Amino acid sequence: MKKKKWLERFKLRGKSVMIPMVILMILTALVPMLLQAMISRRAFNQTQLEAKGIEIQNQCLILSSRLMRSGYMTSDKGNTMELDTRMQTIADIYNGRIVIVNSSFKIMKDTFNLAAGKYYVSEEVIRCFNGETNSRMNQEMGYLTQTIPIHSASDKKKVTGVMVVMASTENISALTDRVQGSTQLFLLCMILVVVVCSMAAVFFLIRPFKRLLASFERVSYGDLDTDIMEDAYKETIQLSQAVQKSLRKLKAVDQSRQEFVSNVSHELKTPITSIRVLADSLMSMEEVPAELYREFMADISDEVDRENQIITDLLTLVKMDKSAQSQMNITQTNINEELELILKRLRPIAKQSNVELILESIREVTGDVDRVKFSLAVSNLVENAIKYNVDSGWVRVTLDADHKYFYIRVADSGIGIPQDCMDHIFERFFRVDKARSREVGGTGLGLAITLNVIQMHHGIIDAESTPGEGTTFSVRIPLNYVSRQEDKS
């Protein structure tokens, strides 16, 4: 449910996968590039600022040294004209301003000639008088400020003045903008390249899926023999194998349906043919003896009973297939007592065949079953064990249980089942020995009904057999019945 809401939120449900794949590939390629461009721009700008700061600092340190040697900060200034010109030149080169502050925080020189004779008191100047060189960048105003101490010529540890240098960073911003423009042009070109390459890549990536879709279309029109193997990718191989597996099952179901229809037609037609032959024989004979007449009528009655049994079994299967859940009438049942009743009903048949019936109850078992259907399934197993047994043989029914399931084993000393028939014994109308099956009155539907009943109880059935030694059917059914609707919820 959450997945469905997620798909509806992003409107991808039922849409082509090509557009999301293209967008994903573009984002995957461009996001790192955009991040790299942003990081590179900041790094370039910072590098230029640091380089310019170092350059200005070196120039000002040289100028500070010359001011110190010339005694610029004392009354004996020496050749100040040359130093003033030097300061003005440096200020013009860096499109900035140089201010000289003495120990009384009075401005001795201003290259802008605006603040000479005024006082300049700031944190940077005070810290500079303590011997600290300071550099500060004002991003909003676009200038770089540096404060450099001017030492005394006689005592180099003593600071007699401070040089405040302010340099414009507009040229760096302009250079960064030009670099950014070039980067944006490069990114635009790369976006176009990535879009084209992504669309081409996605087009080639989904071609195998389109071929698979075309194969599926042919299958949908009834061509179950279409070759749908697509080995371009691991996913297409898995899809192809899954669909081929489903197609094999569909073919098997279709073949089984055809065989079932053919078998039903054959099984229903055989008794009718026999009845027709017997009736025609009676009609063709004149003055039929009463004994022969009764014999023919008895044979006709047997064929009618056989026809009725086949129809009854078919109706039973149809009812189970049509609505398995609604057909269940689950009650809590004593399985031991139910097995005793089943064997009691079948003992006369076993006695006629000289077969011994044995019930082995390892423990008392109570389970949730549909008594009628459960009795039908177990009766079919035991009755088959009696019919296909040897003279003076035996049939042993064993009941056991654990905390979750109960187990029934029906073992016999009969003729057994060939190994090549084991995979087909639960198919409808399948007979191991058709001649003997008709002789004992089998319809070929008993084991199919048994399998259906056990599956309706959410159980499983398995068979083991050795020709000439006997057959064992093993059944496992849950003690507590839970419907499929309750299990899903």
Q: What is the pLDDT of residues 198-238, one digit of tens each?
A: 777 777 777 787 787 787 777 777 766 777 777 777 777 88
Kindly tell me if the per-residue pLDDT of 384 is higher than 60. yes
**Domain boundaries in the chain?**
14-222, 234-319, 326-488
Q: How far is CA 356 from CA 42, 344, 347, 348, 371, in A?
A: 97, 12, 8, 11, 25
Query: Do residues 429 and 267 touch, judged by C-beta distance below 8 A?
Result: yes
- The residue with greater pLDDT, 362 or 209, is 362
Distance CA 182, CA 224 (A): 60
Pairing of strands 394-401, 405-412: antiparallel
CATH of region 326-488, choose from 3.30.565.10, 3.90.1150.10, 3.30.9.30, 3.90.25.10: 3.30.565.10
Render pLDDT for 399-431 as a digit per residue (tens, 0 to 9): 999 999 999 999 999 888 888 888 888 877 676
308: Cβ contacts below 8 Å, ≥ 6 apart? none
Distance CA 420, CA 436 (A): 18
Kindly tell me if the per-residue pLDDT of 334 is higher than 90. yes
Query: What pLDDT sits at residue 361?
Result: 93
Render pLDDT for 109-153 as a digit per residue (tens, 0 to 9): 888 888 888 888 888 888 888 877 777 766 556 778 888 888 887
Query: What pLDDT sits at residue 22?
Result: 63
Query: What pLDDT sits at residue 1?
Result: 46
pLDDT confidence band for 159 (50 / 70 / 90): confident
Kindly report the pTM of this predicted structure. Answer: 0.47
Q: What is the 3 state secondary structure string of the chain?
A: CHHHHHHHHCCCCCCCCHHHHHHHHHHHHHHHHHHHHHHHHHHHHHHHHHHHHHHHHHHHHHHHHHHHHHCCCCCCCCCHHHHHHHHHHHHHHCCEEEEEEECCCEEEEECCCCCCCCECCCHHHHHHHCCCCEEEEECCCCEEEEEEEEECCCCCCCEEEEEEEEEECHHHHHHHHHHHHHHHHHHHHHHHHHHHHHHHHHHHHHHHHHHHHHHHHHHHCCCCCCCCCCCCCHHHHHHHHHHHHHHHHHHHHHHHHHHHHHHHHHHHHHHHHHHHHHHHHHHHCCCCCHHHHHHHHHHHHHHHHHHHHHHHHHHHHHHHHHCHHHHCCCEEEEHHHHHHHHHHHHHHHHHHCCCEEEEEECCCCEEEECHHHHHHHHHHHHHHHHHCCCCCCEEEEEEEECCCEEEEEEEECCCCCCHHHHHHCCCCCCCCCHHHHHHHCCCCCHHHHHHHHHHHCCCEEEEEEECCCEEEEEEEEECCCCCHHHHHC
Does domain 14-222 fall under CATH 3.40.30.10? My reply is no
What b/e sequence results for 417-449 when a residue is b if at least 16 CB atoms lie within 10 Å of its CB, and e otherwise? beeeeeeebbbbbbbbeeeebeeeebbbbbbbb
pLDDT confidence band for 7 (50 / 70 / 90): very low
Average pLDDT of the residues in 239-268 = 71
- The residue with greater pLDDT, 472 or 69, is 472
Asked if domains 14-222 and 326-488 share a fold, the reply is no
Average pLDDT of the residues in 282-290 = 76
| Assigned CATH for 234-319 | 1.10.287.130
- The residue with greater pLDDT, 22 or 226, is 226
Mean pLDDT for the chain? 78
- The residue with greater pLDDT, 376 or 340, is 340
pLDDT confidence band for 398 (50 / 70 / 90): very high
